[in-house]
Structure 1
Amino acid sequence: MTIYFYKVPDPYGCFSNFSPHSIHLNGRDWPTVEHYYQAHKFVGTRDEGLIEKIRGVKTPEEAAALGRDRGYEVRSDWEGVKREIMYEAVLTKFLTHRDIQKVLLETGDEAIVEDSPTDYYWGCGAEKTGANHLGKILMEVRSQLRDRAVFTETIVGG
């Protein structure tokens, strides 16, 4: 059975980038994955000052609004690096927070889909025809967490 997620209060809402799970990456604390992702659009641009502004806003909704504002210059390599940036942030989130790591691992081998009606890159879109890159990243992270658990049990448990 496919696992769909989208809004934070809904089942599996902890899979959302807007979930209130902080991460620590590149020497900085970030309130959510969304804050980290949106801020990294501006690395090396004339609008690099937005990075700290985005990191400091109170909600992921505010971070998303700033990051999506077309009045700012997005880094030229963004399309080529955005998936890796998202992967790094999502992996860190699930390595950091054991409670949601457990939720992710308990999904077994089920497909995971971000049920966004508007996002055809990260989610599945209204017609369920989107690329679902966020769901794919979650499944990759789940696999990596499983591999780490097996490695740890083998080495530590003997």
Structure 2
Amino acid sequence: MTIYFYGTRSEYGCFSNFSAYGFELDGEYWPTTEHYFQAQKFPKTPHCEQIRQAKTPKDAANMGRDRSRPLRQDWEQVKDEIMRKAVLRKFETHAEIREILLATSDQEIVENAPGDYYWGCGKNGSGKNMLGYILMEVREILRKGT
């Protein structure tokens, strides 16, 4: 069976980067993985802190996607590792969602994001589903750690 998730209110909503499970990473507190991920596009700049303090994950996403901000040169090379680091820390920090992730056993996890063909599966299922793969990797890391 495949597990599909997208919004924060669904059964597996805690898998979403917009879900309100904050964590500490790089010496700062981040309200969501979305806040962390978007802020890392602009390390060591005021943009990073502005995004960290965004009211909602949607605000953080919009700020991070704003191309008037100076995107780091190596973003395409580092974005997967940044996402992996944030998702791992989120699940390391919160036992209740770690249990949900571990309970998925070996099922495939798919971000059912119709508009996202990189992190999600896209409208027609042809997307890369990188967030799903990262969640499955994190599940393996956590399994070996328990």
> 1:91, CA displacement in angstroms?
0.2
Where 2:135 maps in the other structure, the secondary structure is helix
Fraction of identical pairs, as percent: 56
For residues 23 and 72 of structure 1, the distance between their equivalents in structure 2, rounded to whole angstroms, comes to: 25
Matched to 2:17, the amino acid is N
Residues in 2 aligned to 1:8 and 1:57: alpha-carbon distance in whole angstroms? 18
- Aligned match of 2:130: 133
Aligned residue runs from structure 1 range 40-119, under 5 A: 40-43=40-43, 48-119=45-116
Structure 2 gaps of 5+ residues are none
When the two chains are superposed, the root-mean-square deviation of aligned CA atoms in Å is: 0.7
* SS of residue matched to 2:24: strand
Higher helix fraction: Structure 1 or Structure 2? Answer: 1
* Aligned counterpart in structure 2 of residue 124 of structure 1, from 96, 121, 124: 121
Structure 1 unmatched runs, 5+ = 150-158
1:43 is displaced (CA, Å) by 1.6
Greater mean alpha carbon deviation, residues 35-44 or residues 1-10:
35-44
The Cα of 1:72 is off from its aligned counterpart by 1.2
Residue aligning to 1:152? none
Max Rg structure: 1
Name the SS of the counterpart of 1:54 in structure 2.
Answer: helix
After superposition, what is the alpha-carbon deviation per residue over 1:14-46, rounded to whole angstroms, capped at 9, x for unaligned?
A: 0000000001001000000000000000125xx
Give TM-score, length-normalised by structure 1: 0.91
Corresponding position of 1:156: none
Q: Secondary structure at the match of 1:63?
A: helix
Aligned partners of 2:75 and 2:65: how far apart in 1? 13
Distance 2:91 2:53 in 1: 22
Q: What's the CA shift for 1:97?
A: 0.2
The alignment of Structure 1 onto Structure 2 pairs a total of residues equal to: 146
Shift of 1:54: 0.6
Amino acid at match of 1:25: L
Following superposition, the deviation at residue 70 of structure 1 comes to 1.4
- The ranges of structure 1 where at least 4 consecutive aligned residues each deviate by more than 3 angstroms after the TM superposition are none
Specify the alignment match of 2:143 in structure 1. Answer: 146
Paired AA for residue 91 in structure 2? F
